[in-house]
Each structure stands twice: as structure tokens, then as C-alpha cells.
Structure 1
Amino acid sequence: MKKLLLAAALTLGCYGANAQSWGIKGGVNFANLTGDGDSNFNVLTSFHAGLLYEIHVVDIFSVQPELLYSVQGAKLKGSDDDVKLNYFSVPVVAKLYLTDGFNIQAGPQFGMLLSESDNFKSFNSNTFDFGVAAGLEFFITDGLFAQARYYAGTKEVAENADLKNTTVQVSLGFIF
């Protein structure tokens, strides 16, 4: 956890002189677990919220680290139980602006497990998550944006199960 926070602080601090924008964002997660036994799961609807910091490198390219609270996991089929994995996530996406108000983005995402639902504790969850995020962003007004992003986890969420996070995020945010 300390290494993740230090990396996030260094990323934000190193670019302080070139900083263009701080912002906030939040939205809906459509999360699921994929891998062995994924036929036992359905999509879990949850949420994410946090801060972002956009660093313009050149006119059409920027880098955007984010600090997010994100609820991932899945619904168990045939049950009212949910598997909820609560993460502190740090996506760091490169943004390529195709027009002034539209960009595509991709990059790594790091996650630290904060808590999990009781029905998943027996799987001995990994506290670190890693994957790749990619998406689209459209500016509605000067600072207000809508964003859609897909996250594919590359690390198993538990030692006792071959399952990885996948999440579609739909966000609204504002850059100051």
C-alpha cells in the first residue's frame, strides 16, 4: 500500500509545474469476474468515485493519473449474494485527443484491496490488483465530461480461484 501511494504521489508531484487540470469523477461500474467458474457469476452494478489530474504533454497528448474508490466483483447466480471487492484504484491513462472535445485513452491500472464481502474471504483474496484500462472521453461543456472505460484485470483476485476482475465504467466528471 505504501509503495502504491508513493508512486501516485510521485506521479502527481513530478508533473506539478506542467499541471493543467485537477478534476473529480464518479459513476457506475458494471463488474464481473472471469476465469474458472465464471458461469456462476452475473454482472454486479456498483460505483466508483475519485480525483484526477490531467498533465498536458503536447496539444493532442496528455497523461492522466487518477485516485479512485471502486467497487468491483460479481453477483452469484441463483442467489441474492454479491461478491464485493472494494479497491483503491490508480489508473494512469495516456490520452490522445482526436478533436478538442474527444479523446481515446489507455494505460495500466493498479489496485489495492481495501475490503471484501464476507462470502469471498474463504478464497484468500490478493491485496494487489493489476490490469489494463482503455476508453473514450467526450467533453459536454468546457469542463464537464462523460467517459466510458473498460478494465481487464491481468492478476487473479484470489489465491484459491482463477478469477480476474473485468469492469465497464461509465463516468461523469468535471475538470477545473
Structure 2
Amino acid sequence: MKKIIVIAFVLVTGVINAQVTFKPGLRAGAALSTFSNTNSSYKTDFYVGAFGEINLTKVYSLQPEITYTQQGSDNIKIIRDYDGENYVLESRDLEIDYLSVAMINKFTFNQGFQLQVGPTLDFRVQDNLKYLDSDVDLAFVLGLAYRISPDLTFEARFKKGLVDVLESDYYSSGGYNDDYWLDDYNTNIGFQIGLAYSFGGKK
């Protein structure tokens, strides 16, 4: 128990004595997304947001973010109608736009390489879905980045939602064939590739 207290004291003291800095910034880029357990294509769109980078040590920083992202899925196969004898089938491009609030943990190593990981809470802004299962999504982000300069960083992230967001009963084919199959649990899956620019902050 004493060893744990000593280790905790050393860590806290190190953070207090470190030169903590804060830098606000902007991030933007391309967003590729789809729904899990569907036969569909990735939708290509964009994201844009703001962040505040709190540098606690040379290696670790905490980065709160707020980001607007256009997500969804292209060419998802659905039933449009049933005429009594045959299904009337079609493909649709589905879109859900989110305002995301994230808390990203950043670990910076030699030569400017970064590991980024953290949770995000996404709030639906708008969509073109006929039926939606949830207005809120809880997701986790895992990414790699490279600091090109003190202010400019290239980012590549993977984002996986945990909440069933698509009411698949209204889009599935009822077992018509494998090409038009949707499972009951459809979560957001996304990739973000872009740049982050931070402005000089005060210590």
C-alpha cells in the first residue's frame, strides 16, 4: 500500500512540476463511414471541428474535441414496396450527421509520431433515414498521427460506434437474398483522414 502511495505521489508531483500548456486548434478532413452488418458501400464525406490540446507532459496530452461529421452508408439495399407477389427493391444512400464531443488521449513519441485513443459521444443533428433507432451514439476512437511541424499534424483515425442506430426492420429484405441482407445490430463504422492545426497557447 505504501508503495502505491509513493508512486501516485511521484506521478502527481511530476505533473504539477511540468510545464503544462494549452493550445486551441482546428481539425478537418475526409470521413469514410458505413453501417456494420449491412451489404453496402462506404460513404465519403467530411468532418470539421475544434479542439483544445492540454499538454501535461512531454509524452501525454489530453485533448477535448467538438466535431461535426457527416456519416452514413452508400448503396444500401432495401425493400421499397411489396406488390403482393414480388418485392420492389432499390439502393439508397443513407446519411446521419453528428455533433461529436470527444475526450482524446494523445501519446507523442520520438520524431513526432502519436497514438490517439478515447471515447466520443455523438448527438444526431440531421439524417435522411426513414426510421432511426437512436439519436445518440457512444463510440471509441483509435488513431495514429504524425506531427509535421509544431502546429500542423496529420491524423488517421478509426471510429467504432457501440449503439444500434439503424432500424433495420424497415430496411431489410426479410430474407429475400444475401445481397439484400441486414442484421438487427447496425452500428456506425468510420475512418477520418485529415489535418489538425493548433494555435500558439499560453503556458
TM-score by length of 1: 0.81
Q: Which of the two has greater strand per residue?
A: 1
Judge conservation of contact 1:138–1:146 (CA < 8 Å) in 2. Answer: yes
Shift of 1:66: 0.7
Once the two structures are superposed, the pairs formed by residues 23-42 of structure 1 within 5 Å of their partners are 23-35=25-37, 38-39=38-39, 41-42=40-41
Distance 2:110 2:91 in 1: 45
Shift of 1:109: 1.0
1:156 aligns with 2:131: no
Distance 2:158 2:198 in 1: 21
Once the two structures are superposed, the pairs formed by residues 90-129 of structure 1 within 5 Å of their partners are 90-99=101-110, 101-117=112-128, 120-121=129-130, 123-129=131-137
* Residue number in structure 1 paired with 2:49: 50
* Residue number in structure 2 paired with 1:171: 194
Shift of 1:75: 0.3
**Structure 1: which 4+ aligned runs deviate by more than 4 Å?**
77-80
Shift of 1:138: 0.8
Shift of 1:19: 4.7
Query: Which 5+ residue runs of structure 2 have no aligned equivalent?
Result: 1-19, 78-89, 169-183
Query: Which 5+ residue runs of structure 1 have no aligned equivalent?
Result: 1-17
Q: After superposition, what is the alpha-carbon deviation per residue over 1:15-35, rounded to whole angstroms, capped at 9, x for unaligned? A: xxx551000010001101002
Which has the higher Rg, Structure 1 or Structure 2?
2
TM-score by length of 2: 0.71
